[in-house]
Amino acid sequence: MFFHGTARVNGQSHLEIGGMDTVELAKQFGTPVYVYDVALIRERARGFRQTFEELGVKSQVAYASKAFSSIAMIQLAEEEGLSLDVVSGGELYTALAAEFPVERIHFHGNNKSREELEMALHYGVGCIVVDNFDELELLKSVCENKNTKTKILLRVTPGIEAHTHDYILTGQEDSKFGFDLQNGQAEAALKQAISTPWLETLGIHCHIGSQIFETTGFILAAEKIFEKLSIWKKELAYEPAVLNLGGGFGIRYTDEDAPIAASKYVEEIISEVKKLAGSYQMEMPEIWIEPGRSLVGDAGTTLYKTGSRKDVPNVRHYLAVDGGMSDNIRPALYQAKYEAVLANRPLEKAEETVSIAGKCCESGDMLIWDLPLPKAEREDLLAVFCTGAYGYSMANNYNRIPRPPVVFVENGEARLVVKRESFEDLIRLDLPLQEKIKN
């Protein structure tokens, strides 16, 4: 079994995380519960930041908060000196509620509304990542109405898509995001942006994919962008202060995944950008990156209680848990794979292969297929690893299942940072068909 961060087996032969016995955590906070290993989040954040600092390259490491947004998480990002990506008014609101330094907030999204842009300008976010021509127009008009300037990055699609172990070169990028670099849209957008007095165009942004295990895609993207930058320098006298290469750094969910260290991504990105800037005789830009999953993914573990079994003779053992696609939709959404152990007896030898079912009314609500486990009984504790990214943030109330709480553990202490939803919470926004007649 592969343990992440501070996870280990303690003297009681229980799984322990952050110095806390998971059996005790389940008793205290109930199940399901998301448990985050705070020390591991800090280690991941430092892993990205340190290399920039050591190599003396101006940078921002922005946490893509869509991976897991909550007030405590954003405060932790602030403690670790990260910047923050938000993609909606709601994520911005959360960041503001956490009192995150607004100048380090970057606002993303392919369809920001007028209200969202007004909100961003009102609070003075550090930069707005402009995604398309419509938004460019809308932003100009919002700035004009408010008589406010703003900093922007232009999001481009460089014609490279990275997926896990391979990258795809696409001539004409068919994507809902960004200005195409190859067909002239990016250049047209840049011309508009730099001729707009309301907008200060800090630089260029791209994000090539997710769960990437190689540096090749980032390097190719940088090459494609610099080819254009060198032209724009000559023709438009434009040189960017910032090059943002996005996120997507891969993590280990199962032993099929072989992630590389943050330091290696950063080193190779820096050395490539230095080389490119040198060869085109351009100033070295600040490098910004936007890890989401790789900051929080492997720090999160979900604890479930096991329940019903269903044995289909000669076919499969189903073992159901007290959560499912309501707290982790990734397996149902894109066949995501996970590893798990019985947290109350992680050292016991596997005796059978079971498939972990959720409790939602969908046949597709399966969390793990074919997991080797000791013979599990009702009320065993199942720990599913690596649920820290896109778990809670995609959680939902399907079947009116309340969302689980989030607990941060560090140095033998546990802190509840998101409460469990109650049944009352579930009906909080509901209104009756008819007002009761008062008499």
Annotated binding site for substrate: 293, 330, 334, 362, 390
Q: Does 292 bind ligand PLP (CB under 6 A)?
A: yes
DSSP run (H or E) holding 356: strand 352-357
Binding residues: 248, 290-293, 330, 334, 362, 390
Q: Min. distance of Cβ 57 from ligand PLP in angstroms? A: 19
- Structure tokens belonging to residue 362: 């969908």
Q: How far is the CB of 278 from ligand PLP (least distance, A)?
A: 27
Residue 220's φ and ψ, nearest 5 degrees, are: -65, -40
Packing angle of the helix pair 71-79, 89-97 (nearest 10 deg)? 70
Q: List the catalytic residue out of 143, 360, 361, 386.
A: 361
Nearer to ligand PLP (CB atom), residue 48 or residue 408 = 48
Taking the complex as a whole, how short is the minimal distance between the CB of residue 177 and ligand PLP, in angstroms? 8
- Report if residue 300 touches ligand PLP, rule: CB under 6 A: no
Work out the number of other CB atoms within 10 angstroms of the CB of residue 358. 27
> In sequence order, which residues have a C-beta less than 8 Å from that of residue 425 and are 6 or more positions away?
402
Q: Does residue 391 belong to the site contacting ligand PLP (CB under 6 A)?
A: no
Residue from 18, 89, 203, 291 touching ligand PLP (CB under 6 A): that is: 291
Is 386 annotated in the active site? no
Q: 150 to each of 135, 205, 378, how far by Cα in Å?
A: 13, 16, 57
Q: Which of 20, 23, 38, 67 binds ligand PLP (CB under 6 A)?
A: 67
Q: Which is nearer to ligand PLP, 248 or 285 (CB)?
A: 248
Residue number, 164 or 192, with CB nearest to ligand PLP: 164
DSSP 328: -
| DSSP track, 258-315 | ----HHHHHHHHHHHHHHHHHHTT-PPPEEEE--SHHHHGGGEEEEEEEEEEEEETTT
Output the residue with the shortest Cβ distance to ligand PLP. 292
Count helices and strands (H / E) in the chain: 12, 24
- Residues 37-66 vs ligand PLP: string with x where CB under 6 A? ---------------------------x-x
Q: Which residues are annotated as a binding site for pyridoxal 5'-phosphate?
A: 248, 290-293, 390
Window contacting ligand PLP (CB under 6 A); options: 16-24, 290-298, 340-348, 371-379 = 290-298
Binding map of ligand PLP across residues 242-261, x = CB under 6 A, - = no contact? ----xxxx------------
CA dihedral 138, 144, 146, 152 (to 10 degrees): 60
Q: Does 202 bind ligand PLP (CB under 6 A)?
A: no
The residue from 294, 302, 306, 344 that contacts ligand PLP (CB under 6 A) is 294
Q: Which is nearer to ligand PLP, 64 or 190 (CB)?
A: 64
212 vs 414 by CB, closer to ligand PLP: 212
Among candidate residues 388, 416, 422, the one with its CA nearest the CA of residue 403 = 422
Indicate whether 108 belongs to the interface with ligand PLP (CB under 6 A).
yes
CB-based contact 285:276 (threshold 8 Å): no
- Residues in binding contact with ligand PLP, number by CB under 6 A: 17
Binding mask 180-199 for ligand PLP (x = CB under 6 A): --------------------
Q: Which of 16, 116, 290, 380 binds ligand PLP (CB under 6 A)?
A: 290
Sequence-distant (≥ 6) Cβ neighbours of residue 434 within 8 angstroms: none
Buried-state track 286-297, b at ≥16 Cβ within 10 A, e below 16: bbbbbbbbbbbb
Indicate the residue among 67 and 270 with the shorter CB distance to ligand PLP: 67
What residues contact 115, with CB distance under 8 A and at least 6 apart? Answer: 89
CA distance 167 to 217: 6
Q: Restricting to residues 78-107, which ones interact with ligand PLP according to CB under 6 A?
A: 85
- Just list the catalytic residues: 361
Question: Binding residues for ligand PLP, per CB under 6 A?
Answer: 64, 66-67, 85, 108, 207, 210, 246-249, 290-294, 389
